[in-house]
A and B are shown apart, each in its own frame.
Chain A
Amino acid sequence: MATRRDLLTGSSNSLLLCLLEQQPMYGYQIVKELEARSQGYFRFKEGTLYPALHRLEKSGLIAGNWQMLSNGRQRRYYHITDKGLAKLAQEKTQWQDFLKAVRLILQPGPSGP
């Protein structure tokens, strides 16, 4: 049986792309958002978020840029690219097919005639 960590590892790219589809975010914000929206189910070892983000950036699926805040601190905001949007659409379809298949097995409907 896959552990929660395995599930997160296998789906981290899709989850990150999905979050960044809605708005540009910086690393800490992504961790908080992921935790809040999954009601605490998905928790990264926070340091490992950055290698995942940088891998996506190197593949051209997201892009990051530094922004100076009013308090003088800098943060690196990531946004999804066109290539990332296309990849996300593809992954969403795969996930929906997968979830539909799992649901059919977990909640079997009345069998046919």
Chain B
Amino acid sequence: MTPELIQYLENIRYNSKLDHSDEKEVMSELEAHIEDKVQELKESGLSEEEALETCLGQMGATKLVAHQIYEAYSQGSWKHVSLASMPHMLFGLLFALNWWQHIGWLSVVLLLTCVTAIYGWWHGKPAWVFSWLGYALLPVLAVGLALVYLPKGWSLLTLPIYFPLALWWLFRVIVQTTKRDWLFSSLMLLPLPIIIGWFLAVSPAGRFNEYSLQRVYYFAPWIGTSFMILGLTIAAFIRLRQRWLRIGLLAISGLLTLTLVVYYTSGRLNTLTFWGLILVMWGVFLLPPLLERFLRSGWKIRWIYDGADSAKLR
């Protein structure tokens, strides 16, 4: 395979954002088509380079092909819609029905979230798994917060070990997700600013105490509503085919939900905190594509190197 062909196929692969099983099939099919076409053009008297150039010209621009492949594969089934919106709905119900006070329900939902996220992660990372994964990060955060409340000596001993490990693990998850598609990283992290917003609203001093529990009870219907709005957003996201619509939907819904949090907490979040949360929300949408660009530059170098190597071997 020549470097030009490798680059052509890689551009399609990168922009079509397919999962691994679909990706393998689609790329094999395109490769077989190009081989047939180049063979025929060579038999008509063109040199190898001319044949490849003509063939790639007739295949169409990589962005156009990838864009159409993305739209052919992006729409999830109704089963995927229910799977993807389920964690948001579960957490929404947990608060809307005030079940969050029962340790049993809370444990069941958290356990279900973690098990589903791990199952999906090891079974091809389908689109629905990323909303579960976002909530599966909660126990990690919760353990971190719990460590703060340990007796002082223990806190100082455990926090410097736990936080770097937790951050490293979170970073690995984000990198792996971004390699699949940066939009899934944004989808996964979407509840984060909302959760931070509610946490700051119920415990303005940053410490969770008995008074905070009363506030959670007071805000519970609104906390539930905000998670359910996210659930509906994700349902629409899974059904949409166009990428730009998906990005717009996540951004608008995220910012609207955040505004609702601030509105319902009726002044408990000050302006500075609100802008801080807006900044976190923008981070959710800007950091994954930047990370992808950074990772991509590394892949490109590797692909070209591999391509040149295999061409040399032939």
Residues of A within 8 A of B (CB): 26-28, 45-48, 50-52, 54-55, 58, 73-76
Alpha-carbon distance A74/B36, docked complex (angstroms): 11
Contact status B69-A50, CB under 8 Å: yes
- Cβ-based interface call for B29 (8 A): yes
A38: min CB distance to chain B, Å? 16
Contact status B32-A50, CB under 8 Å: no
**1/0 per position for B1-38, CB-CB distance to A under 8 A?**
00000000000100000000000011011101101110
A63: min CB distance to chain B, Å? 13
A40: min CB distance to chain B, Å? 13
- Cβ-based interface call for B148 (8 A): no
- Select B29's contact among A45, A52, A58, A76, beta carbons within 8 Å: A76
Contact status A48-B72, CB under 8 Å: no
B59: min CB distance to chain A, Å? 4
On chain B, the number of residues with a Cβ less than 8 Å from chain A's Cβ atoms is 23
Selected interface stretch from B60-68, B106-114, B117-125, B212-220: B60-68
- Cβ-based interface call for B266 (8 A): no
| With A28-B32, A50-B29 already in contact, 9 other A-B pairs whose C-beta atoms are closer than 8 Å | A26-B32, A45-B60, A47-B12, A47-B60, A51-B71, A51-B72, A58-B72, A58-B73, A76-B28
22 contacts between A and B (CB under 8 A): A27-B32, A45-B60, A46-B59, A47-B12, A47-B30, A47-B62, A47-B64, A48-B65, A48-B68, A50-B26, A50-B29, A50-B69, A51-B71, A51-B72, A52-B68, A54-B26, A58-B72, A58-B75, A73-B35, A75-B32, A76-B28, A76-B29
Q: Give me the 10 closest cross-chain CB pairs, A-B, nearest first.
A: A45-B60, A51-B68, A47-B65, A47-B59, A47-B60, A51-B72, A28-B36, A54-B72, A55-B72, A51-B69
Chain A residues within 8 Å of B72, by CB: 51-52, 54-55, 58
- Select B37's contact among A26, A46, A76, beta carbons within 8 Å: A46
Alpha-carbon distance A97/B251, docked complex (angstroms): 46
Dominant secondary structure at the B interface: helix
B68 (CB) vs chain A CBs: closest residue: A51
Alpha-carbon distance A51/B33, docked complex (angstroms): 14
**1/0 per position for B50-86, CB-CB distance to A under 8 A?**
0000000011101011001101110100000000000
B77 (CB) vs chain A CBs: closest residue: A58
Alpha-carbon distance A51/B67, docked complex (angstroms): 9
Contact status A74-B68, CB under 8 Å: no
Chain B residues within 8 Å of A47, by CB: 12, 30, 59-60, 62, 64-65
Q: Find residues 121-170 in chain B having any chain A CB closer than 8 Å to their own CB.
A: none
